[in-house]
Amino acid sequence: MDAKTKSVFLDSILYVVVGATIGSVMALAAGSFLYVAEFLSAFSDPSENLISDQWSRFVPLVFMVVAACLILVLRRTLGLKRFHSPGETIAAVQSERPIDIKAGLASTLAALISVGGGASVGQYGPLMHFGGTVGAAVAKTIKTRIPREIWISCGVAGAIAAGFGVPLAAIVFSHEVVLRRFSVSAITPISICAITAAILSDQFNFGGRPYFDGLVDDLTIEFLPLIILSAPVFAITAVVFMSLLGKTMDKVDQLANAPAWPLMLAALFCGVVGLWVPGALGLGLDVIPDFLTNNLPIAAVVILVITKLVLTIACVGTGIHGGIYLPSLFMGAGVGSLLGKLAATMGMASGAGLSLAGMAAVAAAVFGAPISTVLIIFEFTRSYEAALLSIVAVTICTLISHQLYAPSFFDRPSKD
């Protein structure tokens, strides 16, 4: 065996080992994150607490304030003005800016506190950054010929595959959003990492996908005109969300000495609003199926969507750290449900079609991930028809949002 052949053989083994190792690590890490977040969230849910009904409705308010205090202490202890997000993961690959491993781990802990406290945030954005941080830490510790960006992308793929239970989407997401190119050398370790993480998560119940099976069996091509007409509305929803969130973050960041009052005020505001609209707090995974099945009256959907928009902006914008992917899914599904109800009044049945299309379109525009979001919808629903119809909404929505705002929230225009 000549030197070149031996080198290729060793590199191939190394790529496989790297993918399997990071996938295993991320299955355990992501599963632990989701388990602890779910455990803490149960205590902030009024229906799960052990105190009298008279006071149970105030539990979310108390948890929000406690979570804000813990986040503030963590931020002050580490000297961080703002916790890190998927934007830092993408920048680490695109501009070769190093990932601050300590800040990345602290951001994961802050997100865990936020989710456990019932904040109106998501958990998958922080999980994605956590995966990138783990990949960067491994690349820094183990010196190999594998480029650092591949290690980071493997971590992201493993986190998404384990957290969402969507290995196909995780593979594409790492290329589409993080690497922003399809690389022959990267596809092997990323694929092995995602598949390993998904298999282990499923085998040991570490994570798992939201189950929307059976909700979209009635989708047909007849919904296509409705989806085309609705796509601009989804784009406006995404642009409004990204624009307001970006402006809020910029205003808070411009405050001198990173004061505590915006964060504490947001916690109190969210906790008080949650007394009357509890469905807008937390992850919202229990509400999205109601949007898809049209189980809620119009007034309830309007209140939930608007409240979710306001509370997510208040939380993430002021530093109650968390993700924005799940809130995007929530708002997209809600707007789609409203459009579906409007279509029904005109004699056009849409079922779960518009809610599903809205969920995909808004999330794809916010994260700049049209292809992987369609795959996420496919793996969520196990429906080929749902994926096909989502493509139409996603492509039109992302085209419009790109022109009106930016390719994604993480590529938003600089405040300067």
Which CATH number characterizes residue 334's domain?
1.10.3080.10
Instruction: Kindly state whether residues 320 and 381 are assigned to the same domain.
Output: yes
Name residue, tokens 């783990």.
134
Q: What is the pLDDT of residue 50?
A: 42
Q: What is the pLDDT of residue 47?
A: 47
Residue 416 lies in a domain: no
122: β partners: 323
Q: What is the pLDDT of residue 206?
A: 61
323: β partners: 122
Q: What is the pLDDT of residue 217?
A: 55
Exposed e or buried b per residue across 182-219, where buried means at least 16 C-beta atoms within 10 angstroms of its C-beta? eeeebbbbbbbbbbbbbbbbbeeebbebbebeebbeeb
Q: What is the pLDDT of residue 49?
A: 45
Residue 210 lies in a domain: no
Q: How many CA atoms lie within 13 A of 204 on its CB side?
A: 17
Instruction: Kindly state whether residues 199 and 265 are assigned to the same domain.
Output: no
Instruction: Kindly state whether residues 175 and 239 are assigned to the same domain.
Output: no
Residue 214 lies in a domain: no
pLDDT in tens, 397-413: 999 999 999 999 988 87
Instruction: Kindly state whether residues 242 and 173 are assigned to the same domain.
Output: no
Q: Last residue of some domain: 152, 175, 204? A: 204
Instruction: Kindly state whether residues 112 and 245 are assigned to the same domain.
Output: no
Instruction: Kindly state whether residues 321 and 233 are assigned to the same domain.
Output: yes
The string of DSSP letters for 145-180 reads: SS-HHHHHHHHHHHHHHHHHS-HHHHHHHIIIIII-
Name residue, tokens 């922003």.
180
Instruction: Kindly state whether residues 199 and 225 are assigned to the same domain.
Output: no
SS3 label, residue 323 = strand
Q: Along the chain (416 residues), what's the average pLDDT of each consecutive run of 10 residues?
A: 60 81 86 78 55 63 91 90 89 85 91 90 89 88 82 92 88 91 85 92 67 60 82 96 95 87 94 89 87 88 96 95 93 93 77 85 94 89 82 94 93 68
Distance CA 44, CA 344 (A): 37
pLDDT in tens, 206-237: 655 555 666 665 666 677 888 899 999 999 99
What is the pTM (predicted TM-score) of this model?
A: 0.90
Instruction: Kindly state whether residues 69 and 171 are assigned to the same domain.
Output: yes
Q: What are phi and psi of 323, to 5 degrees?
A: -90, 170
Q: What is the pLDDT of residue 52?
A: 45
Burial zone of 299 (CB within 10 Å; 0-12 exposed, 13-18 middle, 19+ buried)? exposed
Distance CA 354, CA 357 (A): 5
| Residue 403 CB coordination number (10 Å) | 10
Looking at the structure of the chain, the number of domains it has is 2
Distance CA 158, CA 151 (A): 11
Instruction: Kindly state whether residues 155 and 242 are assigned to the same domain.
Output: no
Q: What is the pLDDT of residue 183?
A: 78
Domain extent, residue 377, equals 221-411
Instruction: Kindly state whether residues 59 and 147 are assigned to the same domain.
Output: yes
Cβ-defined contacts of 68-72 (< 8 Å, 24+) = 68/117, 68/263, 68/264, 68/266, 68/267, 68/320, 69/264, 70/113, 70/117, 71/110, 71/113, 71/114, 71/263, 71/319, 71/320, 71/321, 72/260, 72/263, 72/264
Instruction: Kindly state whether residues 183 and 50 are assigned to the same domain.
Output: yes
